[in-house]
Amino acid sequence: MRDYQAIYREWLENPYFDEETKAELRSVSGDENEIRERFYTDLEFGTAGLRGIIGAGTNRMNKYVVRRATQGLANYIKKQGGEQKGVAIAYDSRHRSDEFSEEAALCLAANGIKAYRFESLRPTPELSFAVRELGCIAGINITASHNPSNYNGYKVYWEDGAQFTPPHDKGVTEEVLAITDMSVCRTMSRQEAEQAGLYVTIGQEIDDKYIGHVKDAIVNKEVIRKMQDQIRIVYTPLHGTGHIPATRVMRELGFTHVFEVPEQALPDGDFPTVSYPNPESPAAFALGLALAKEKDADLVLATDPDADRLGVYVKDSASGEYIPLTGNMSGALLCEYVLSQKQAAGQIPQDGQVVKSIVTTNLLDAVAAHYGCSLISVLTGFKWIGRVILENETRGQGHYLFGMEESYGCLIGTYARDKDAISAVASLCEAAAYYKDKGMTLWDAMLSMYERYGYYKEYTKSIELAGIEGLAQIQKILETFRKEQPKHFGPYEVQRIRDYQADTVEDLKTGETGKTGLPKSNVLYYELNDNAWVCVRPSGTEPKIKFYCGVKGKDLADADRLVEELNADLEEKVNAIIH
């Protein structure tokens, strides 16, 4: 371990660091553990960029760490000869997002690279769109997505509008890691940058074009015109960036009964009404569900702070209660709706594609097959779905129709290359109108899918293991699973093991081996009998290890039972390793 106390003293003594930073560091003087956590390592610049707790130190999110990341990006852009194209920058409602985005813009400008910075907070998918619309070489988004309020982050996008993938992720990372002295990171005043034409403020023009593309993704405008005043929608942006774009697109499509949760409408980095601003969390829906019952809403929608993920509750007409849809359920429901409408309009090409991450429900495979589309599986991270779109464009073959991850994210259309909750809001409202016209709720539509394709159910569990000790435990879990190779999970037998780190697929019955065909990643995937599966992987953005499992039951109760048995055995195996 490096001498973190020496680096701590360097930050206190070096005139490069401002007095506010030094005052924060003096406040932890004598706290050995706190100093170690802040300085024992650099905040990891990984394949998703940066994400960490806001504060002073090399292992925290602050303006100096942001400058270093941006200087590394600028160095890489110059080596690629892309400095004339510029970089688009967006930010969300989190604490210091405005400041960090300004620091990034001024660092780029000081390196002779034009920064196109949004005038105020914008959703992640709009940043992805802006990169391509403006012809930029890269994009930066200051956001920590759905993390708690003490976090912030820094995502890097490349010129195709997706978060960067090989070789650019490795290239930028190497440039960032090569900067060992933060004082070499360049900056300049905003006035100087604007006068030099290297700082450009963007806003409404990009907004209008982005919203136009979201609306163009609607496949059945007629059913919206017919049912627009009969659908009642409750929506919450959870204090994030969704407030203006989501309400705008619903209004412009013609929905007349949209009720926004007033306590959560305006941006607030404290996220005062939720401890965890994540639409995966039932607690995030408490206020929305109360309003839904008051307004007799058909569906309740919640976007996360950077508006790339969408959580959904739908009304069950039989019980009158609101039922939560997992990301797997809402994504599969949207895919089924979009493909059914395209099929009815004769718009599914022979090379139509549905793309999903490896930890996403197998229900999507069944939907894709039903509509004659090829199913493409990619690593976790929406950038890999964006990569498929880029490969289609490069080869001139393959027609992307729908892509999703289990973590409440999907993309309809190719105007953006990241998951888009604003588009998902529009399409789910459209689907609600379509099914209501047929006398069905979205829950009825979900049950109809299960009856057609089978009762698929999935479960995801995350274990947070923070700090140095936590990182060691995560590695121990993965190493143990690799070494001991479980033969059973609950009532299921392991048939094949995919080790994406080793790039191997092993058939346990025949002994045959092959390759995964995907980039290397520290992920283990177990194919079980009867369409069941288990996957183990460390989070790419948080100090967590994640476990996924999926089953196919005879009915909903059977699927619930099977997934509980599978998960119980998985937890027992993990606890035996940790304890």
Domain boundaries, the chain: 41-209, 221-452, 455-578
Separation CA 517–CA 534 (nearest Å):
19
Would 221-452 and 455-578 be classified into the same CATH topology?
no
Cβ count near 139 (within 10 Å): 30
Q: Which residues pair with 404 in a beta bridge?
A: 356, 410
* Residue 129 and residue 141 in contact, taking contact as beta carbons nearer than 8 Å: no
- Distance from the Cα of residue 287 to its chain's centroid: 24
For the domain made up of 221-452, give the CATH fold. Answer: Alpha-D-Glucose-1,6-Bisphosphate; Chain A, domain 3 (3.40.120)
The pLDDT of residue 73: 97
Reading the block at residue 303, the tokens are: 């976007």
Q: For residue 262, is the peptide bond before it cis, meaning its omega torsion is within 30 degrees of 0?
A: no
- For residues 442 and 454, what is the distance between their CA atoms, to the nearest angstrom? 17
Per-residue CA distances from 173 to 69, 85, 156, 177 (Å): 8, 20, 11, 6
Burial class of 438 by CB neighbour count within 10 A (0 to 12, 13 to 18, 19+): exposed
CA atoms within 13 A on the CB side of 483: 7
Which helix (H) or strand (E) covers residue 178, if one does? none
> Which H/E stretch holds residue 34?
helix 32-39
Report the pLDDT value the prediction gives residue 464, as an integer from 0 to 100. Answer: 83
Distance CA 111, CA 83 (A): 9
User: How confident is the model at residue 275, as a pLDDT?
Assistant: 86
- What pTM was estimated for this model as a whole? 0.94
C-alpha to C-alpha distance for 75 and 55, rounded to whole angstroms: 26
261 is written with which tokens?
Answer: 């949760």
Residues 472, 285: Cα–Cα separation, whole Å: 35
Q: pLDDT value at position 35?
A: 96
Superfamily of domain 41-209: Alpha-D-Glucose-1,6-Bisphosphate, subunit A, domain 3 (3.40.120.10)
Could you give the residue numbers annotated as active site?
145
Question: What are the tokens at 567?
Answer: 């998960």
Q: Which residues pair with 528 in a beta bridge?
A: 494
- CATH H-level superfamily of 455-578: Alpha-D-phosphohexomutase, C-terminal domain (3.30.310.50)
Other beta carbons within 10 Å of 270: 13
Where in 442-543 does DSSP place strands (E)? Answer: 455-464, 488-489, 492-499, 504-507, 513-514, 524-528, 533-538
Each of the 579 residues of the chain gets a pLDDT tens digit; together they read 789 999 999 999 999 999 999 999 999 999 999 999 999 999 988 767 899 999 999 999 999 999 999 999 999 999 999 999 999 999 999 999 999 999 999 999 999 999 999 999 999 999 999 999 999 999 999 999 888 999 999 999 999 999 998 899 999 999 999 999 999 999 999 999 999 999 999 999 999 999 999 999 999 999 999 999 999 999 999 999 999 999 999 999 999 999 999 999 999 999 999 988 999 999 999 999 999 999 999 999 999 999 999 999 999 989 999 999 999 999 999 999 999 999 999 999 999 999 999 999 999 999 999 999 999 999 999 999 999 999 999 999 999 999 999 999 999 999 999 999 999 999 999 999 999 999 999 999 999 999 999 999 999 988 887 777 888 888 899 999 999 899 999 999 999 999 999 999 999 999 999 999 999 999 999 999 999 999 999 886 667 899 999 999 999 999 999 999 999 999 999 889 887
> Quick one: pLDDT at residue 47?
66
**pLDDT reported for residue 345:** 93
